[in-house]
Amino acid sequence: MNKYKETFGVDISKDVFDVHGSKTGYDQYRNNETGFRKYLKELPKGSLVVMEATGYYHYRLIQCLDGYTK
């Protein structure tokens, strides 16, 4: 049994990040504060977000997600 409400895979690049939810499907957001806020507003509590740490484009999103979970 999955303990998470939904699982999200994130592919992040310089300008955007693509998100695919196990229930909600695909969406794309700007890789900036506005995009982070929009994504966090739509992210169900109790979800798992996974991404590959490549380069440094993921750092700001991780910081936002970390603050969201506390």
**37-59: per-residue pLDDT in tens?**
999 999 999 999 999 887 888 89
Is 36 buried (19+), middle (13-18) or exposed (0-12) by CB count in 10 A?
Answer: buried
Helix or strand run (H / E) with residue 52: none
2 pLDDT band, cuts 50/70/90, is confident
Residue linked to tokens 């939904």:
6
In the predicted model, is pLDDT for residue 1 greater than 70? Answer: no
Q: What's the CA gap between 33 and 16, in Å, rounded? A: 11
Full-model pTM = 0.86
DSSP secondary-structure letter at 31? Answer: S
Is the confidence at residue 20, as pLDDT, over 90?
yes
The ranges assigned to domains in the chain are: 6-67
